[in-house]
Amino acid sequence: MIEKGKISSFQMALLIVPTIIATAVLVVPAITGKFAGRDLWISPILASLNGFFTTFIAYRLHKYFPKETVIQYSGHIIGRLPGKAIGLVYLFFFLHVCGIICREYADFVIGSFLPKTPMTIVIGSLVLVCAFAIHGGVEVLGRAAQLLVPLFMLPPLLFFLLLQDFKIENIFPIMEHGIMPSLLGAVVPQAWFSEIFLISMLLPFLTDHEKGGKSSMAAVIFSMFILVFTNIVNIFLFGGTVSAYTYPVFTAFRYIGLASFFEHLESFVIAFWVLGIFIKIAVFYYAFVLGTAQWLRLSDYRPLTLPLGFLVTIFSIWVSPNEQEMSKFLGTIIPFYIPTFMTFIPMLLLLIAIIRKKFKKKSFTT
Amino acid sequence: MKWLTIAGITLCVIFMALFEWPKMDRHQKKEKAAFVTIVAMGWLLVILLLFFPEMPGPTQMIDKLFKPLGKMLEK
C-alpha cells in the first residue's frame, strides 16, 4: 500500500466534519435562504439524508474492497480500462473542486479582511501549508484534525453572546408554505453532505475498521446539528432577510458587542474558521494526491504533492473570473455537479458490484 | 511585467524541483517522470493563462454539461 500511516475512526470523523461544514456555514445559508425563507433551519435536516445515503454507499463499497480506495476499486468493478477512465474523471473532479474551495476561501478572506493582498498569495500560502501536512502522510492529517477541529468548533458557542438580540418570533410560522420551500432549499446543502464520500479515500487506513461506518454517520449527524444551529441563529437575528447577506453567519458575529468593549469578534472567528478550511482543503488535496499516485501506480505519493498543489493554485484562479459568477455556479450547478460524482457514480458502482458478486461468485475476488 | 511573472513562476518550479528531487532515489523512474510531466503541465498552463486570461476553463465545461438541470434552480 502507498500510504503507510494509520488513523483512528475518531480522527477520520474529525477530518470529515470540517470537510462538510467549513464552506457550508460560509455560503450555504444565503443560497438556502433564497428558497426556504423562514424555514431555513429545516433544510440541513433534509439535506443530511443524502449524507446518510452516501455514507452507506461508501461503507458498503469499502466492505467489498477493504484495502482499496475509489480510484482502485472502480477498476475491479467495471474492468481495467473503464476503471481508468472513471479514475481520471475523479481526479479531474478532485482538482476542480479543490480549486473551487480555494477560490471560495480567497474570495471571502480578500473581501472581508485582506483587500489589498493578491489572490495568488492568499491561496498559495494555504496550499503550501496543506502540502506540508500531506507530505507527512495521513497520520499527520489525523493529528492536525485532532488538534485543530475542537478549536474550530468554538465560534458557534459565541452565538450565546447574542441572546439579547434574538427575536424568537422570527421563526414562526413554521412551514407557512408547506414543505416545498425547505425541500428546494435543501438541494444546495445536500451537495455539501455528499462530500462525505471522501471517507472512501480514508477508510482503508483505519485502525478500527468496524467502527468506520458508525463514526462517519456520527460526523454527518454532528455537521447537521452545527448547520441547523447556525441557521436557527441566523433566523432569530435576521428573520426572512438572511439571503440579503453574502456571508450571513459572519455578519451575525459582527453583531456581537458586550458593554462596547467586547467587540469585533469576527477577527477571532475568522482565525478559527481558517483552521477548518485548512482541514477541508487538506482532505480534498490529499484525496487528489493519493488518487493520482494510485492511478499512475506509483510507489510513493509524496513527490507529487507540490506539483499538484501548483496545479490546484492555478485552477483556483482559473475556475471563475469573478465572485458573482462563482456564487451563481455554487447556487445552480454545484447541487448537481458534486452529487453526480460523490453519490450517483458510487451508487452505480455499488449496484454493479452487487450484481457481479451475485452472478459469478468465483471470478469476483477482491 | 508578464515576463517578470514568468520568471517568478519558473523560480517557484525550480524551488519545487530542488525540494523534491533529492528525496527520490534512482529507482523511482516513474515518479520522476510523473513529477516532470505535472510540473511542465502546470508551467505551460500558467503561461497560457497569462497571455489568454479569458480562456474558457473547466467551470465553463461543467456549466455546459449541467445547464439543463441548473435551470431548475435559477431564481
DSSP A175-220: TTT-SHHHHHHTHHHHHHHHGGGGHHHHGGGBS-GGGHHHHHHHHH
Is residue A322 domain-resident? Answer: yes
CA-to-CA distance for B27 and A109, rounded, in angstroms? 43
Is residue A87 domain-resident? Answer: yes
Least CB–CB distance from B19: residue in A306, A321, A331: A306
Is residue A352 domain-resident? Answer: no
What is the count of structural domains for chain B? 1
Tell me the ipTM for this assembly: 0.91
pLDDT at position A140 = 92
Is residue A357 domain-resident? Answer: no
Residues 6+ apart with CB under 8 A from A339: A50, A190, A191, A194
Least CB–CB distance from B30: residue in A99, A298, A315: A298
Determine, for residues A307 and B38 on separate chains, whether the beta-carbon distance falls below 8 Å. Answer: yes
CA-to-CA distance for A361 and A343, rounded, in angstroms? 26
Determine, for residues B34 and A303 on separate chains, whether the beta-carbon distance falls below 8 Å. Answer: yes
Residue with cell 453574502: A246
Residues 6+ apart with CB under 8 A from B11: none
* CB of A332 less than 8 A from some CB of B: yes
State which residue of chain A sits closest to B20, comparing Cα positions: A303
User: Structural domain of residue A47, as residue ranges?
Assistant: 9-345
Instruction: Identify the CATH number of the domain in which residue A212 sits.
Output: 1.20.1740.10
CA-to-CA distance for A299 and A305, rounded, in angstroms? 14
Phi, psi of A206 (to 5 degrees): -85, 145
Model pLDDT for residues A192-228, shown as the tens digit of each residue: 999 999 999 888 888 888 888 899 999 999 999 999 9
User: Structural domain of residue B62, as residue ranges?
Assistant: 2-73
Is residue A365 domain-resident? Answer: no
pLDDT: which is higher, A131 or A185? A131
Q: Å from B53 to nearest chain A CA?
A: 8
- Which residues in A lie closer than 8 A to residue B59 (C-beta atoms)? 96, 100, 318-320, 329
Is residue A362 domain-resident? Answer: no
Q: Å from B37 to nearest chain A CA?
A: 9
Determine which of A101-105, A109-113, A183-187, B22-26 has the lowest per-residue pLDDT on average. B22-26
- Which residues in B lie closer than 8 A to residue A314 (C-beta atoms)? 42, 45-46, 49
State which residue of chain A sits closest to B56, comparing Cα positions: A318
Q: At what angle do helices A70-78 and A43-64 cross, to 10 degrees?
A: 60
CA-to-CA distance for A55 and A199, rounded, in angstroms? 8
Q: Does the CA dihedral A230-A232-A237-A243 come out positive or negative? A: positive
pLDDT at position B75 = 61
What is the count of structural domains for chain A? 1
pLDDT at position A177 = 78
Determine, for residues B13 and A310 on separate chains, whether the beta-carbon distance falls below 8 Å. Answer: yes
Determine, for residues A298 and B31 on separate chains, whether the beta-carbon distance falls below 8 Å. Answer: yes
Secondary structure, 3-state, chain B: CHHHHHHHHHHHHHHHHHHHHHHCCCCCHHHHHHHHHHHHHHHHHHHHHHHCCCCCCHHHHHHHHHHHHHHHHCC
pTM of the entire structure? 0.92
Mutate to test the interface with A, among B59, B60, B74 (most CBs of A within 10 A): B59
Residues 6+ apart with CB under 8 A from A317: A103, A119, A120, A123, B49
Determine, for residues A96 and B62 on separate chains, whether the beta-carbon distance falls below 8 Å. Answer: yes
pLDDT at position A209 = 82
